[in-house]
Chains A and B, each alone.
Chain A
């Protein structure tokens, strides 16, 4: 979206000084790309929307501030689905990002710009945010590693809100080890975010080398059924065999309510988005329509012209679900089923240490293929959404290819088990090469 060349050179000089003074850390001087959802002081933050085309935030997001403190260098801001609402990056006001593995295909979304930048080796690592799969699904489709931490682990302050009870920021990089280094900087309590959890942060690299003997991997039978591409399924199976050879045990489990995750999500997320996005009113910042005739005209035209179709659809679904007479049937019902979905995971984690399956049902689809059919687009997040509803940590790691397109293996951990997930991913990456694969045109 925005390349911050001058600032990057300044930050690099500062990092050099930090090194000379002997107080550098592992991320000092490392160049990173930031998703354009994190506010950056003095640098445009668009969130992929015309609404914020002219928006320069008066403060840094906590995540940005943490990277600045560590001496990291920001290369620029990456494109994304508008307000993180999308699974293909096609809803961005600035146009779609293309998948570096095949320029006719989508990179996934909403953190598609970050995923494509890391896959094409334009940046060694980037940040993403994940509300229903927006780190894991693009990581899978672009052949990189990404982790969505437990809800409350990474500060949401300055991360433009979409669905507040689901949104969580996290790293996207080539390897689990790089993600661990990034997460060490990103994670932690922040008094400015009322949903940030005040609990100690692990050293995410400490357990990377633990062996996996006796690890119990749960395979939800619902994640291997109808809708899953047969070649993707085979690829995932091959990855699971690698884990068996590392000493892990595969256990079939059931998440009986998982088919309800997408329907529940499309009540909860739009409801929260309709509330969060009410702040964009054409008065205090952002887009304002020309020559408003009265206050209502100012609101409706600024919002009607400033938001794209997908954002408007979700605001309207949320408004409908929360409106008088419908609240119990939609929002309350969705919150009740959300508990059932969450309980499924709690029961599963009494039997297994980690849950695995495909990140997405297919490899990257063609640009435009699902753009006119919101519901078919929503189903590309069928395996990732439940994790956000439960607030659990989830990862996607490159696990093979089908017809030259990357396939992601999803790892789901118990609450606060980021270090364990990174360890499990790292051990796989010690014996496989998929995370090293680079798209031909970018090698």
Chain B
């Protein structure tokens, strides 16, 4: 398995990660060797085997649909990079 620089850039974009252009070949090489390791899975016939999503095969516990958390907006926004009037600020999205 060998990833091209173009594929690395595509994956980085999907993951919303900025990768410096000069580092792309290094990522391509490292990611390819990780995928080579992973390829060992292909030697196993897994026909009919139920995928295991949880280590003990239990379903997630559900809770009653009631509000349990108090409003802590000020506390949570105190650690935000930029807020105004109780809102999180981001660069302008709509022109």
With A and B bound together, what is the CA distance between A66 and B45 in angstroms?
45
Are B49 and A316 touching (Cβ within 8 A)? Answer: no
- In the complex, whether B41 has a CB less than 8 A from a CB of chain A is yes
With A and B bound together, what is the CA distance between A339 and B51 in angstroms?
7
Contact with A along B70-81 (1 / 0, CB 8 A): 001001101111
Known A263-B37, A315-B15; contact A58-B91, beta-carbon cutoff 8 A: no
Are B81 and A299 touching (Cβ within 8 A)? Answer: no
The 8 Å CB contact of B11, one of A263, A283, A319, A332, is A319
Residues of chain A with a CB closer than 8 A to B17's CB: 300, 303-304, 307, 312, 315-316
Residues of chain A with a CB closer than 8 A to B36's CB: 375
With A and B bound together, what is the CA distance between A263 and B40 in angstroms?
7
- In the complex, whether A23 has a CB less than 8 A from a CB of chain B is no
- In the complex, whether A288 has a CB less than 8 A from a CB of chain B is yes
**Which chain A residues in 256-291 approach chain B with CB under 8 Å?**
257, 259-260, 262-264, 266-267, 274, 278, 281-286, 288
Smallest CB separation, A291 vs chain B (Å): 9
- In the complex, whether B38 has a CB less than 8 A from a CB of chain A is yes
Closest partner residue, chain B, to A329 (CB atom): B42
Closest partner residue, chain B, to A168 (CB atom): B55
Known A319-B14, A340-B44, A391-B56; contact A313-B51, beta-carbon cutoff 8 A: no
Contact stretch, chosen from A7-15, A133-141, A190-198, A418-426: A190-198
Q: By DSSP majority rule, is chain B's interface helix, strand, loop, or mixed?
A: loop
Are A316 and B11 touching (Cβ within 8 A)? Answer: yes
Are B30 and A374 touching (Cβ within 8 A)? Answer: yes
The 8 Å CB contact of B18, one of A166, A198, A304, A337, is A304
Are B78 and A58 touching (Cβ within 8 A)? Answer: yes
Chain B residues bordering chain A, tally (CB within 8 A): 51
With A and B bound together, what is the CA distance between A368 and B44 in angstroms?
34
- In the complex, whether B67 has a CB less than 8 A from a CB of chain A is no
Residues of chain B with a CB closer than 8 A to A340's CB: 44, 46, 49
- In the complex, whether A298 has a CB less than 8 A from a CB of chain B is yes
With A and B bound together, what is the CA distance between A334 and B78 in angstroms?
41
Known A313-B30, A316-B15; contact A152-B56, beta-carbon cutoff 8 A: yes
Smallest CB separation, A341 vs chain B (Å): 9
Smallest CB separation, B44 vs chain A (Å): 6
Known A285-B79, A338-B52; contact A274-B37, beta-carbon cutoff 8 A: no
Are A389 and B55 touching (Cβ within 8 A)? Answer: yes
Smallest CB separation, B35 vs chain A (Å): 7
Are A339 and B52 touching (Cβ within 8 A)? Answer: yes
Closest partner residue, chain A, to B40 (CB atom): A263
Closest partner residue, chain B, to A299 (CB atom): B16
With A and B bound together, what is the CA distance between A188 and B30 in angstroms?
40
The 8 Å CB contact of B38, one of A191, A285, A330, A335, is A330
Smallest CB separation, B14 vs chain A (Å): 5
- In the complex, whether A350 has a CB less than 8 A from a CB of chain B is no
Smallest CB separation, A87 vs chain B (Å): 14
Are B16 and A390 touching (Cβ within 8 A)? Answer: no
With A and B bound together, what is the CA distance between A438 and B29 in angstroms?
41
The 8 Å CB contact of B12, one of A191, A283, A316, A323, is A316
Q: Using A319-B11, A342-B52, A391-B55 as known contacts, list a sample of 18 further A-B pairs with CB atoms less than 8 Å apart, ordered by residue number in A.
A: A58-B78, A194-B63, A195-B60, A294-B91, A300-B16, A300-B17, A300-B18, A301-B18, A313-B27, A317-B35, A320-B31, A333-B42, A334-B41, A336-B46, A338-B51, A375-B33, A375-B36, A391-B56
Those 8 A-B pairs whose CB atoms lie nearest each other, nearest first? A391-B55, A304-B18, A335-B51, A288-B81, A336-B46, A339-B52, A300-B18, A319-B15
Residues of A within 8 A of B (CB): 54-56, 58, 151-152, 165-166, 191, 194-195, 197-198, 257, 259-260, 262-264, 266-267, 274, 278, 281-286, 288, 292-301, 303-305, 307, 312-313, 315-317, 319-320, 323, 330, 332-340, 342, 374-375, 378, 388-391, 415
